[in-house]
Amino acid sequence: MRHGQAVPQAPRDSLRALTAHGRQEALDSAGQLLGRPLQAMLVSPFVRARQTAEMVCQALDYRGIIEIHDWLTPDSDVRQALDRLAERQEDDLLLVTHQPLVGALAGLLVHGHRQEPLPMQTGSLAGLEGEMILAGGLVLKHLHHPGQ
């Protein structure tokens, strides 16, 4: 999931907070997760991603594992993120992160290469499924853009 819309200005990019519209986008996409057996939520340390995760937790009444990871920031290395995800034991994870990382990572997981990133608008949610987290190893089940 990509974070909801954020304010355009802040002292640092990592401090940009969600707008009212961004909070609504987060709630919209959270609705797509109702009934999912979510086992863990992995979140960027940036304010807008943490706020998005909070909105999702509230909407789902989720009280499970929430981890903040520095490897989920906008310009993080896609291969490092893939390696970190491959280490996970959970079957149902939610990442709350940023572009360009989220689109590039999802594209790599689905297509096996980085030339076809998934189009992720603010608040977009991509549902990927498969047996193993590896390049080209997952199938895109749905791609939800808030308000559409």
Instruction: For residue range 69-84, list pLDDT tens digits in order.
Output: 999 999 999 999 999 9
- If one counts every other C-beta atom within 10 angstroms of the C-beta of residue 96, the result is 29
Residues 28-52 have pLDDT tens digits of 999 999 999 999 999 999 999 999 9
The pTM score is 0.96
Residues 86-141 have pLDDT tens digits of 999 999 999 999 999 999 999 999 999 999 999 999 999 999 999 989 999 999 99
